[in-house]
Each structure stands twice: as C-alpha cells, then as structure tokens.
C-alpha cells in the first residue's frame, strides 16, 4: 500500500510559480509605452489573426504574453465585463482599475485553486484625458498587480527590456520616437542576438488620447513601415 | 446587480457566442430591456413618430423629426430618434420611446461587442439580422401595445452602396428599395419621397429630399413636428458612406432647413414633381 507524499504548501506554490514563469519566458515580448498623444503597444507577433493586443473599451486596451488560449479567455471576459458595466451604468463608468481588479482576483483564484496556473502576463492600459491620467496595470500569473508608470515590458526578455527602458524612456516621446524605441529594444533583447524586426513581424496599436470615443486603433503594416522610416 | 463581484464569474469565461445580448441573458437577465416589465395595456408612454431613409450609391441618409407624443400631448419636443449604430450604419426608431431607445443602446453594444470579440465588424446583413432577433425579444410587449418599429440603414462595404432594412413588430426583416419611412407620419413622408426620390441623387440632394419628406409628414400628421425655427430644433440627420457615419450638427441642418422653409412660403405644398410634357410620349 502506497503512502501519499506530504508536500508543503510552500513547495506547491513555488512549483506552480516556476511552471508559470517558464511558460511565459518561452514567449516573445510585448512593450507598452506612453507617448505624448497616448499609449503605444508593440508586440513581436508575425500573425495577423491571433492578436496579443486588443481593444477592451473606449479608452482601455489589453496586451498579453504567454499561452494564447488562456489570455484570449481573459480578453473575452474583459470585453464582456466592460460592455456589461458600460451598458448597465454609463460608458464613463468603465475603468481600467476595476478591470485590473477583476483580472487580479480571477488570476489569483486560478493560481491557488486549480492544479495548473495560467501561463500569462497581461497589461491593462487606460488612456486619460491628459498624460497624468494614463494608467498601466501589469498583472502576473498569480494575480499580483503592479501599477506602472511610463512603460511596461512582458515576456521572455522582460527584464533586459525593462532595464533598457528605465534609461531610454522619457516623458513626451513622439509616436515616431516611441515606435522606434520599442522596435529597437525588441530587436536587441527579444531573441538570440541582435535582430532587425520589420513591419511583418510586429503587431502595433495605439490608444489615442484626443479621440472622442473609441480611442483604440491598430497601426497597419504600411503605416508602420512609414513610422520606422 | 448580479455582476457586482470581485472576480470574473464563470459566465464571463464560459465559451459562448459573440453576442452581447445572449451573454447578458445568462449573466444578468434583469439588465435586458423588456425582460422585467409587465405592461398594462392601457399604459400611456411617449411615442416617437416619423423616420425617413433614402439610399444611393453614395450610401444612405436617415432623418427623423424631434417630437414624442403621449395621446394628444407633446411629451418631448427635442427627442432624438436617429442614432449612429456603428461606424457604417444608422438606426432610427418609432414607437414606444422608452423601449425603443433601450433597444438602440443594446443594439449599439451588440455591434461593438461582436467587433471587439471577433476582431472584425459584422456584415450589414448580419447587423440587420441581429436587430431582427433583438426586436423579437420585445414581442410580448408589442402584443400588449408597446411596440417598437426600427428602421436600419447603412453603407454595405462589400457591395459598395447604401441599403435600407425595415422591420415589423414581430421581428420580420425586409430590405427596402430606394427609400422608406416608419412612424405615424410615414404615409405622408413616403408619398413625398415617391415623387422626390432620385436614384442617381448625390448625398447632398438625398439629405434635402429627406428634409422635404419630413416637412410633408409634419404638414399632415399632428404627431410629427416640423422644424421649430424659434427654438432652433431641427430634424436629426445622419449619413452613412464609405468613409463612415456622420451626424449633421444643428448649424448644418439649419442651413438646409431655412431655405426649405423659405421655399414653402411661396409654395406651401413643396416642389412640383416632374411630369411628362403634354403631347410628348416619354
């Protein structure tokens, strides 16, 4: 007769966290940066159909790395939550903060209560009326939330990119400067050795501050080629 | 409400269709319009009146007067009954105003929700069909006298032209050729459109034709308002083209309505429809 092994809670949590981190580290990176007229999202993603960056609501967008089916599930849930709140109350009552809270609770519950944690990391970004109102929330697989300022990097090379951003990002970048900075850093740190990333390998979108209602738009590959010069 | 919670409930992550209305029916059925109302057949609720729409190769124009009535009383003189449904389509509503405006709100979210979940907008036919099924959800109230009659028009990107869809209270969907009108003044408006509509009209001419038709409707239907020059209350006009939907602002509509009213000073019944010359065979 076999005896069940005793595994300490600390060990279980650690194993789950290691597992999730490994899964996330395998993926290509995503960079989110604030620029003078809004918030920019740049992902290394050759697919035109499977997005890592998406619209959630008028002034809120979502970016993710990790396992596609898992973050897609979270994205759809976020759109449903936002649309339901906006429909039941008012469009102005949908906030990035409440969405980040809901995601945090959900990821936290999944991490502690299910055998397999989600291998995802997500950013919920809300563009304000002025740059002071911009909000970036970074959520990790265990449900922890960090309120970031200015820039966020996620994915395999997040640490190296974040370090570079801490010296190279400044307030008031133009869209051209911001796109070039992000693409440059993804090329430098995003893979093995230094690479040159073209429009065909990138997914880029913005939340544009001055637009009246839906501020999210994707930057087409031809427009991206122009921006990269 | 039932969605006041901290974590996303099962309903949010369950695989389901891309329809917001279907999601709402499971997650928060009480939030759906007309699910939680029991109508008294004798209820007096404001009614919206006349909406007209015209189509052409440029796209579609929709215009509505601003009156809501409750029996013989004017319930509101500046109600809005024509709305942007999404980037390429317009919806106008006649009938029980409260339910109709709620239906519009639900329809707008429905279209945007689909677009966000799927990454691409619905086809124009798809939008028209969704509206039909939302309308069917109101059938119970319609049978008790609280009917909602929408008019849907938009620019069909795939076909490169404007299209118009009308509905009955049971959710029946019918594509209209050229032009249509709904609401209490619709018979007069349609008569006017019959004579004035030109298939080759530019967007500009189509807008003026819509305004003429609304004027004619107000002329003979007491529930439809004419332009209120004193208060500067003019019809709401929207136009859907390949570039998207644009709602005309008050100044723009006034610039078109003022000459129209001036013309009617000398010719109260409006422009003469062209007739074949006497003795000519054409």
Return d(Cα A2, Cα B227) in angstroms, integer.
88
Instruction: Check pLDDT > 70 for residue B280.
Output: no
> Which of B13, B49, B96, B170 is the catalytic position?
B49
Domain ranges of chain B: 45-266
Return d(Cα B53, Cα B197) in angstroms, integer.
11
* A150 secondary structure, DSSP code: S
Contact A92, A82 (CB under 8 A): no
Return d(Cα B56, Cα B78) in angstroms, integer.
28
Q: At what angle do helices B124-136 and B20-27 cross, to 10 degrees?
A: 30
| Whole-number pLDDT of residue B175 | 97
Contact B145, B39 (CB under 8 A): yes
Q: Is A148 on the interface with B (CB under 8 A)?
A: no
For residues B251-276, give the mean pLDDT.
Answer: 93
Inter-chain contact A79–B113, Cβ cutoff 8 Å?
yes
> What token pair was written down for B24?
């709402």
Query: Cα–chain-centroid distance for residue B37?
Result: 24
- Between the two ends of chain B, the Cα-to-Cα distance in Å is 67
CATH level 3 topology of B45-266: 3.60.20
| Whole-number pLDDT of residue B25 | 85
CATH class of A23-226: alpha beta
Among the ranges given (A10-14, A189-193, B69-73, B215-219), the one the predictor scored with the smallest mean pLDDT: A189-193
Compute how many other C-beta atoms are within 10 angstroms of the C-beta atom of residue A220.
11
pLDDT mean across residues, chain B: 89
Among the ranges given (A198-212, B128-142, B184-198), the one the predictor scored with the smallest mean pLDDT: B128-142
- CA distance, residue B178 to nearest chain A CA (Å): 32
| Whole-number pLDDT of residue B15 | 74
| Whole-number pLDDT of residue B39 | 57
Handedness of CA A127, A132, A133, A134 (dihedral sign): positive
| Whole-number pLDDT of residue B256 | 97
Q: Give B-chain residues touching A78 at CB under 8 angstroms.
A: 8
- For A49, which residue in chain B has the nearest alpha carbon? B119
Instruction: Check pLDDT > 70 for residue B56.
Output: yes
Return d(Cα A109, Cα B112) in angstroms, integer.
30
For residues A45-61, give the mean pLDDT.
Answer: 94
For residues B197-220, give the mean pLDDT.
Answer: 96
Q: What is each CA distance from B136 to A88, B53, B140, B183, in whole angstroms?
A: 21, 22, 8, 19
Q: Is A101 on the interface with B (CB under 8 A)?
A: yes
For residues B196-204, give the mean pLDDT.
Answer: 94
Query: Cα–chain-centroid distance for residue B95?
Result: 11
Instruction: Check pLDDT > 50 for residue A10.
Output: yes
pLDDT mean across residues, chain A: 93
Q: Which position has the token pair 């300490």?
A: A8
Return d(Cα A186, Cα A163) in angstroms, integer.
13
- For A70, which residue in chain B has the nearest alpha carbon? B13
The residue among B199, B257, B270 whose CA lies nearest residue B227 is B257
Instruction: Check pLDDT > 70 for residue A195.
Output: yes
Instruction: Check pLDDT > 70 for residue B4.
Output: no
Instruction: Check pLDDT > 60 for residue A69.
Output: yes
For residues B201-224, give the mean pLDDT.
Answer: 96
Note the pTM of the prediction, 2 decimals: 0.91
ipTM: 0.92
For residue range B91-141, what is the model confidence (pLDDT) as tens digits? 999 988 888 999 999 999 999 999 999 999 999 999 999 999 999 887 777
| Whole-number pLDDT of residue B238 | 98
| Whole-number pLDDT of residue B43 | 66
For residue range A145-188, what is the model confidence (pLDDT) as tens digits? 999 999 999 998 899 999 999 999 999 999 999 999 999 999 99
| Whole-number pLDDT of residue B142 | 74
Domain ranges of chain A: 23-226
Q: Which residues of B touch A (CB under 8 A)?
A: 1, 3, 5-8, 11-13, 20, 23-24, 27-28, 31, 105-106, 109, 112-113, 116-117, 119
| Whole-number pLDDT of residue B138 | 78
| Whole-number pLDDT of residue B2 | 40
Point out the residue among B3, B13, B112 whose CB comes nearest to the CB of A84: B3
For residue range A75-134, what is the model confidence (pLDDT) as tens digits? 999 999 999 999 999 999 999 999 999 999 999 999 999 999 999 999 999 999 999 999
Inter-chain contact A77–B12, Cβ cutoff 8 Å?
yes
The pLDDT confidence band at residue A33, using thresholds 50, 70 and 90, is very high
| Whole-number pLDDT of residue B184 | 92
For residue range B10-44, what is the model confidence (pLDDT) as tens digits? 778 777 788 998 888 888 887 777 655 565 656 67
């Amino acid at each position: 007769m076999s005896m069940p092994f005793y595994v300490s809670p600390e060990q279980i949590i650690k194993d789950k966290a290691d597992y999730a981190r490994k899964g996330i580290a395998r993926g290509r990176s995503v960079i989110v940066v604030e620029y003078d007229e809004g918030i920019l999202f740049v992902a290394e993603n050759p697919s035109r159909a499977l997005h890592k960056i998406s619209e959630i609501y008028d002034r809120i967008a979502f970016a993710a790395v990790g396992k596609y089916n898992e973050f897609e599930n979270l994205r759809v849930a976020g759109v449903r939550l936002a649309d339901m709140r906006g429909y039941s109350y008012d469009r102005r009552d949908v906030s990035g903060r409440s969405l980040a809270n809901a995601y945090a609770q959900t990821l936290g519950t999944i991490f502690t209560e299910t055998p397999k944690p989600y291998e995802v990391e997500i950013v919920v970004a809300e563009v304000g009326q002025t740059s002071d109102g911009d909000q970036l929330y970074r959520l990790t697989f265990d449900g922890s939330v960090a309120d970031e300022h200015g820039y966020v990097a996620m994915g395999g090379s997040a640490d190296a990119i974040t370090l570079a951003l801490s010296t190279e990002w400044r307030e008031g970048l133009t869209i051209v400067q911001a796109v070039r900075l992000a693409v440059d850093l993804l090329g430098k740190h995003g893979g093995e050795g230094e690479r040159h990333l073209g429009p065909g390998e990138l997914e880029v979108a913005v939340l544009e501050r001055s637009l009246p209602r839906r501020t999210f738009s994707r930057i087409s590959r031809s427009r991206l080629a122009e921006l990269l010069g | 409400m039932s969605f006041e919670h901290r974590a996303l409930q099962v309903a949010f992550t369950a695989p389901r269709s891309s329809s917001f209305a279907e999601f709402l029916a499971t997650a928060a059925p009480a939030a759906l319009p007309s699910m939680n109302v029991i109508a008294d057949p004798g209820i007096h609720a404001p009614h919206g009146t006349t909406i007209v729409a015209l189509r052409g190769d440029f796209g579609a124009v929709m215009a509505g007067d601003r009156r809501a009535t409750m029996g013989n009383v004017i319930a509101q003189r500046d109600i809005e009954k024509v709305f942007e449904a999404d980037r390429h389509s317009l919806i106008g509503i006649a009938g029980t105003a409260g339910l109709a405006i709620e239906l519009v709100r639900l329809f707008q979210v429905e279209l945007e929700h689909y677009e966000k979940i799927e990454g691409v907008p619905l086809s124009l036919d798809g939008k028209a069909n969704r509206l039909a099924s939302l309308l069917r959800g109101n059938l119970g109230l319609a049978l008790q006298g609280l009917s909602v009659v929408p008019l849907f028009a938009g620019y069909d990107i795939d076909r490169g032209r404007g299209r118009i869809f009308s509905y009955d209270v049971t959710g029946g969907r019918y594509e209209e050729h050229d032009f249509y009108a709904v609401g209490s003044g619709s018979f007069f408006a349609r008569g006017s459109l019959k004579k004035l509509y030109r298939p080759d009209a530019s967007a500009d001419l189509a807008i003026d034709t819509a305004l003429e038709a609304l004027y004619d409707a107000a002329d003979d239907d007491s529930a439809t308002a004419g332009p209120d020059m004193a208060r500067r209350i003019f019809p709401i006009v929207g136009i859907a083209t390949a570039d998207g939907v644009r709602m005309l602002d008050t100044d723009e509509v006034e610039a078109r309505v003022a000459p129209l009213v001036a013309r009617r000073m000398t010719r109260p019944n409006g422009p003469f429809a062209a007739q074949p010359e006497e003795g000519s065979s054409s």
